[in-house]
Amino acid sequence: MGSETRLVDLLRGEIPFEEEADFDLSLRPDSGTSLGLVLVDILNGFCTVGAGNLGQAPIEPNRQISSMVEEAARLARHFCEMEWPVLVFLDSHHPNKPEPPYPPHCVVGSGEEDLVPALKWLEEDPSVTIRRKDCFDGFIGSMEKDGSNAFSKWVKANQIKTVSGFVSFQENHHSHTAFYDPLDDVSKLVQILVAGICTDICVLDFVCSTLSARNVGMVPPLEDVVVYSGGCATFDFPIDVARNIKGTLAHPQDLLHHVGLYMAKARGARIVKKVTLGSSI
């Protein structure tokens, strides 16, 4: 553990990145603040102690994963109380469709593919869209047979916008603040806030693909991807375990959590250390 801590400290010194101290959601909805929340793979197979077949679920309580689940639940509760849009990705695989290089995991019907107990209530909330995916990358996993993309449709349908620095959105019969006026488009900033697991795999893949899609105009009006570091986690697979399993790579948790955030930042995401919530009244 000491050697890993030294490595993490060395890595943070060699490849540091800037985290924004606070992402403040405390403005009231009638002042025009809202954005979309994307939760990635916060399911039993990756988070619930002893539940996973892949080796990614912890075999004992894990501080980083437990904290991520708590933060995701806190954010989700606030967004749903505000009737702000939430998109939930769930890794879900059929037994006859492998996902190399990983062994079977989150197989439909196993329970691994289900939301963790702390987030199970999201299945019944009208602000929430659940998207099951059969690949690492939620953006690619949102591709439909007709070539359309469910994530792109979600962004467009919710019209997540900022007007002069304040975010607003409208969806179906729910609306908050004034409708968008092109004359107010001084600094249009369309945002999603991303949390989930694994920081360096599914979260990173989704963030990178979304940023690339944004850059070529595939996800209008999306412009800004914000990753909450405290709302992300990855799994821990120490070298002393991995070296005894042929073909298995070690996966030190804190080190690769940092690498995942660094890579997301390098690709153009904003990384925030803290998310402040306002009143839901």
Fold of 2-277: Rossmann fold (3.40.50)
Work out the pLDDT band at 276, boundaries 50, 70, 90: very high
Q: Do 35 and 84 meet the contact criterion of CB atoms below 8 Å apart?
A: yes
Closest-CA residue to 13 (of 255, 244, 267, 223): 255
Residue 240, H or E segment: helix 239-242
Strand partners, 237: 251
User: Looking at residues 24-38, what average pLDDT do you find?
Assistant: 65
Strand partners, 192: 36, 225
pLDDT in tens, 194-236: 999 999 999 999 999 999 999 999 998 888 999 999 999 999 8
CA 47/CA 279 separation, integer angstroms: 29
Residue 139: pLDDT above 80?
yes
Quick count: other Cβ atoms within 10 Å of Cβ 276?
A: 10
CA 35/CA 121 separation, integer angstroms: 21
Longest Cα separation, the chain: 63
Q: What φ, ψ does residue 11 adopt, rounded to 5°?
A: -60, -45
Which amino acid is residue 44, in one-letter code? N
Work out the pLDDT band at 165, boundaries 50, 70, 90: very low
Work out the pLDDT band at 102, boundaries 50, 70, 90: confident
CA 17/CA 4 separation, integer angstroms: 19
Instruction: Write the burial class of residue 210 (CB in 10 Å: 0-12 exposed, 13-18 middle, 19+ buried).
Output: buried
- 181 against 276, higher pLDDT: 276
- 189 against 38, higher pLDDT: 38
pLDDT in tens, 76-101: 999 999 888 999 999 998 888 878 77
Which residues have CB under 8 Å from 57's CB, separation 6+? 44, 45, 46, 47, 48, 49, 50, 51, 112, 235
- 73 against 103, higher pLDDT: 73
With b meaning 16 or more CB within 10 Å and e meaning fewer, what string describes 137-158? bbbebbbeeeeebbbbebbeeb
* Residue 242 DSSP one-character state: H
pLDDT in tens, 34-65: 589 999 999 999 999 988 766 677 888 999 99
Token couple for 185: 């488009």
- 273 against 162, higher pLDDT: 273
Residue 1: pLDDT above 90?
no
CA 128/CA 125 separation, integer angstroms: 6
CA 200/CA 141 separation, integer angstroms: 17
- 152 against 97, higher pLDDT: 152
